[in-house]
Amino acid sequence: MSDAVTRPESSDAEVDASGLNCPLPLLKAKLELNRLNRGDVLKVIATDAGSQRDFRSFARLAGHELLHEEADAGIYTYWLRKA
């Protein structure tokens, strides 16, 4: 769980990267973020446990805000706000 308190109510776009292994969930998310406007929220669904490390690092390095993350029964969901 991240430091973010609550899960965003909605997102501007969604990427379902279920069944994809590293680094594909992150690559799909990057491509979608490129299409979004600054401040938009992207929801990403992944099943790769390594995606937790990847998305935390990516958000920090790229300047995007990782608003919230959830892990439930092998499904990892992230909400990123585009910088």
Q: Which of 11, 13, 20, 22 is catalytic?
A: 22
Q: Is 6 designated active site? A: no
- The percent of the chain in helix, strand and coil, each rounded to the nearest 5, is 30, 30, 40
* d(C-alpha 50, C-alpha 34), whole Å: 22
Catalytic residues: 22
